[in-house]
């Protein structure tokens, strides 16, 4: 999908959209919004990004975007989600966004297409009886 890269788990990795707006940070395996609240997690060598409810949303790219194929088969919710960490303090300073390359027609920037994806509970979540 994209050339391999490595995110240092000891450093803050900022998550941007194609327009250059910052949406959150990746610290270790946890994704936080800019208020420091937990919004999801990342797993695997391909940096698969999941919402807090376990729904896969895409892969983190080297330029900080979360990208997925435009037409994809929805995966079932992950059942072994990490325990949500406590709220943290996010620095007010952030780097300039990197230049975003063209994705082509077959891929979509998840946060540009649906910037509130991490704020909703997945419709795949079973109802409580």
pTM of the model: 0.87
| Residue 5 lies inside a defined structural domain of this protein | no
Higher pLDDT, 129 or 21: 21
Confidence of residue 124 (pLDDT cuts 50, 70, 90): low
Could you tell me how many residues make up the chain?
129
Give the model confidence (pLDDT) of 29-49 as tens digits.
999 999 999 999 999 999 999
Residue 100 domain flag: yes
Question: Is 69 inside any structural domain?
Answer: yes
Range of the domain at 56: 13-113
In a domain, 59, yes or no: yes
Query: What pLDDT score was predicted for residue 49?
Result: 96
Determine, yes or no, domain membership for 95.
yes
Nearest Cα neighbor of 126 from 24, 55, 27 is 55
Structural domain tally of the chain? 1
């Amino acid at each position: 999908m994209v050339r391999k890269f490595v995110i240092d788990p000891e450093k803050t990795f900022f998550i941007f959209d194609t327009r250059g707006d910052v949406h959150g940070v990746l610290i270790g395996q946890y994704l936080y919004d800019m208020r420091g609240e937990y919004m999801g997690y990342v797993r695997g060598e391909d940096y698969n990004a999941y919402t807090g409810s376990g729904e896969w949303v895409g892969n983190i790219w080297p330029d900080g975007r979360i990208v997925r194929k435009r037409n994809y088969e929805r995966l079932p919710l992950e059942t072994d989600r990490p325990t949500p960490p406590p709220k943290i303090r996010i620095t007010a300073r952030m780097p300039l966004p990197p230049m975003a390359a063209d994705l082509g027609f077959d891929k979509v920037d998840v946060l540009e297409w649906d910037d509130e994806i991490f704020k909703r509970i997945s419709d795949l979540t079973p109802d409580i009886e």
